[in-house]
Chain A
């Protein structure tokens, strides 16, 4: 069956960087785009952007331009999200999402930014 498995929780200090991975299985990786969604503690869902898994071209939502980078390791069926110069407001659970209609979700990766 189709699965998206994300890397584990991270505890970081302000100004540091973090890289989250999302490994896909059960389908051809390039068949679906990969989206990233942020959920701050106790809040709703916010779309961060997506990456074309065939061409590698990323598209970022306006609020996620600059410090956020989507990348691929296509040979490993893996999508990555890197956040640099972390801020307290980056504390959130980050989900990778694939499939048409947002059908497939990773389990989420909690990133905590605290001094």
Chain B
């Protein structure tokens, strides 16, 4: 199974600061059809996760454009350009290139400094 490793596990930021989260895969997530099935989710406290980004860099409808995703192969990054209070929570990457199983990263908790 594919293992996704997220770093850092915890991230402290001030409002307005830009931050990045890394997601590294144990094998390439490039599918034979040319797509890379790597998504990013945000789980706010007490809430279900919500989809932020799919296919590495495509912003889900309604998600602010301060969120961006990049990467290829085994290394992926989620960037928040100017953290806002509503961005606090736990971020997860998830892959489906080599599904089943779908696999999640261990999560990165974004908190206020």
Contact = CB atoms under 8 A, between A and B. Distances in A.
The number of chain A residues touching the other chain, given as a range, is 20 to 34
B106 A102 contact: no
Interface stretch (A40-48, A66-74, A75-83): A40-48
A102 B93 CA distance: 11
A101 B102 contact: no
The number of chain B residues touching the other chain, given as a range, is 20 to 34
Given A101-B60, A102-B94, A47 B104 contact: yes
Given A101-B51, A108-B48, A44 B100 contact: no
B41 interface: yes
A35 B48 contact: no
B48 A107 contact: yes
Nearest to A61: B101
Contacts, number: 50
B100 to A, nearest CB: 6
B60 A44 contact: no
Contacts of A95: 48-49
Given A101-B60, A103-B60, A46 B104 contact: yes
Contact of A102 (B51, B100, B103, B107): B51
A4 to B, nearest CB: 9
A105 interface: yes
9 nearest interchain CB pairs? A101-B54, A105-B48, A47-B102, A45-B104, A103-B51, A44-B107, A61-B101, A47-B101, A101-B39
21 contacts: A44-B105, A45-B41, A45-B43, A45-B94, A45-B107, A47-B100, A47-B101, A47-B102, A61-B101, A62-B101, A101-B60, A102-B39, A102-B41, A102-B49, A102-B51, A102-B94, A102-B102, A103-B51, A103-B54, A107-B48, A108-B48
